[in-house]
Structure 1
Amino acid sequence: MQESMYSAMFGALTQEHRLNIIANNLANVNTTGYKRDQMAFKDVFVRFAHDEIREATFNLKSEQLFPDPDHYAKPRIAVAQIDFEQGSLKQTGGPLDVALSGEGFFKVRTPEGEDFYTRGGAFHVNAVGQLVNGNGHQVLGEGGPIELPGEGGQVTVSGSGQIFVDGDEVDALTVVGVDNPQVLEKVGHTYFRIRTPGAAAEIPVPETVVEQGYLEMPNVEVVTEMVNMIEAHRAFEAYQKIITNTRETDSKATDQVGRDK
């Protein structure tokens, strides 16, 4: 099988993976707090054993025992990374809708634990007076789950995350950053968590402002994603054509050129 077959096959698989990522970004174009995924590439060199051998020569006319080093550069997928760029803020006017202007995340408690982060700030009060998000999971404050006393009180959230009900401070939203955001992984429901425990630590984000009455929209540009999708489709079709042509060439070499005369 020719080298072009392997290269084209890998290229087609890469574009298929890229299309899956683009489709997921477009599917979440209206998901509050969603962060788009993007693919990263790197060049690697295929090295052969003789490439690393540096033979000694006794004179200028000495013949080389090994062929010249051959290196072939090929693109490889490095990793699918999360783009944490700030999304636009949409004004809702809801007293329990909050958005982060700057870095950082809200912390929520799920049945799997408390180490979950999110940028989604569409909160409401459940039947027992706790502040929860759209999934019904508790929003964490300085003392644990946030509880809002009474009903019908005027809720005010300051820029630093302090929560006031009728002028009395009841708690403060836990807003934290991560010193290495690239170790975060998505776990659904716009949640993130540290992929490997201990790989990153929480840090304060004093420059971040909590905006009451706003929600952060996803950082997905529909036009850009559609252009990327068309480009990926065209590339996939080109790789398919290379695979077909290579197969036809191999078949011709086997059936015609290699036939005994």
Structure 2
Amino acid sequence: MDITSYVLLSHEQALRRRMDVVSNNMANLSTAGFKREDPLFREYVERTGNADAPTRTTSMVLDYGTVHDTSAGSFQVTDNPLDIMIDGPGYLSVETPEGGVAYTRAGYLKVAEDGTLTNAAGMRLLGEGGRPITVPVEDAGRLSIADDGTIKGPNGELGRVAVTMFDNEASVDPRGDGMFTGQGGRELTAAETRLRSGGIEGSNVQPIVETTNMVAILRAYQTSMRMAESMNDIRKSAIDKLGRFG
């Protein structure tokens, strides 16, 4: 396989990766708090040549991972006073079944049978200092969440929802279940926290944009295939001519 074929293969692999990412975005169009992703590539330059020939460079594409779009999704009203949306940067902290901490923008909250506040998947929501929030079960239907995350019941304050912010969003990685993992986050104070209750944050995926991306990827792949076919025709023609010469 010559260098041209390697370059075309590199391009087609990058296009396939782009299509996988766009397809995943479309699949999560209705996922609460989902952040659309973009593939990240970098250029790999291959240098060829020797003492008798000038140095030549060939550029190829290498997959360098993905980055997620941190722009906020739209506010979707649920009329549940426990459902919240973070109005600004940051993530809700939840305790995973393995005992670790994960982060999410999906603000579906409910009170479990033991009185702890959990997300829709049953993971315990963490409040200030990384501690679970427990409320009286009999007050489950009479709770409210203030803009600063303070949870209030009929008899006063019961805790505060913690919002964790990462100064470097590149350190936040999706884990595949609507959750994120991250390192180096800091817990926002009450004065820095901004929440909206009675609804959740929708996905920030724009279907028209993603559909347009799919069409562009398909056309680029078709162009790459035509180039590969043209190169094959040139090789066949050269072989035929050499055969006749021999």
TM-score, normalised to structure 1's length?
A: 0.84
Deviation per CA, 1:63-86: give whole Å up to 9, x if none: xx6544333344443331111122
Q: Which runs of 5+ in 1 are unaligned?
A: 51-64, 195-199
* Residues 1:165 and 2:153 are matched in the alignment: yes
Structure 1 partner of 2:212: 227
Counterpart Cα distance in 1 of 2:243 and 2:87: 68
**Residues 49 and 67 (structure 1), Cα distance of their counterparts in 2 relative to 1, 3 Å cut:** closer
Q: Relative to structure 1, is the Cα distance of residues 172 and 150 closer, same or farther in structure 2, using a 3 angstrom cutoff?
A: same
8 Å CA contact 2:78, 2:198 repeated in 1: yes
Kept in 1: contact 2:30–2:202 (CA 8 A)? yes
Residue 252 of structure 1 corresponds to 237
**Within-5 A mapping of 1:26-41:** 26-41=26-41
Q: How does 1:233-248 map to 2 (within 5 A)?
A: 233-248=218-233
Partner of 1:123: 109
Pairwise mapping of residues 60-99 of structure 1 onto structure 2 (< 5 A)?
67-99=53-85
Higher RCO (CA < 8 A, seq sep 6+):
1
Please state if 1:150 is matched with 2:137.
yes
Letter in 2 for 1:229: M
Is the 1:103–1:208 Cα contact (8 Å) retained in structure 2? no
Q: How far is the alpha carbon of 1:21 from its aligned partner?
A: 0.5
Q: Aligned-pair distance for 1:92? A: 1.8
Query: 1:8: which partner in 2?
Result: 8
C-alpha deviation, 1:246, in angstroms: 1.8
Q: Helix, strand or coil for the counterpart of 1:47? A: strand
TM-superposed CA distance for 1:178, in Å, is 1.7
Letter in 2 for 1:213: G
Identity of aligned residues (%): 28
- Equivalent residue in structure 1 for 2:165, among 177, 186, 190: 177
Q: Name the amino acid aligned to 1:85.
A: S
More helix by share: 2
3-state SS, counterpart of residue 126 of structure 2: strand
The residue identity in structure 2 corresponding to 1:127 is E
Tell me by how many angstroms 1:211 deviates.
0.9
Find the residue that maps to 1:69 and give its secondary structure.
strand
Q: Matched residue of 1:228: which SS?
A: helix
Unaligned runs of 5+ in 2: none
Q: Which amino acid aligns with 2:159?
A: D
Counterpart for residue 58 of structure 1:
none
**Hey, what's the Cα distance between the residues in 1 that align with 2:227 and 2:99?**
49
* Of 183, 201, 224, the match for 1:216: 201
User: Are 2:85 and 2:195, in contact at CA under 8 Å, matched by a contact in 1?
Assistant: yes
Please tell me whether the aligned partners of residues 106 and 117 of structure 1 are also in contact (alpha carbons under 8 angstroms).
yes
User: What is the CA distance between 1:159 and its match in structure 2?
Assistant: 1.1
1:103–1:205 Cα contact (<8 Å) kept: no
Paired letter, 2:213: N
Q: Deviations over 1:193-236 (max 9, x none)?
A: 13xxxxx4122445441111121111111100000000001111
Q: Report if the CA contact (8 A) 1:5-1:242 is conserved.
A: no
What's 1:140 paired with? 126
Residue matched to 1:25: 25
Does residue 110 (structure 1) correspond to residue 96 (structure 2)? The answer is yes
What's the TM-score, normalizing by structure 2?
A: 0.89
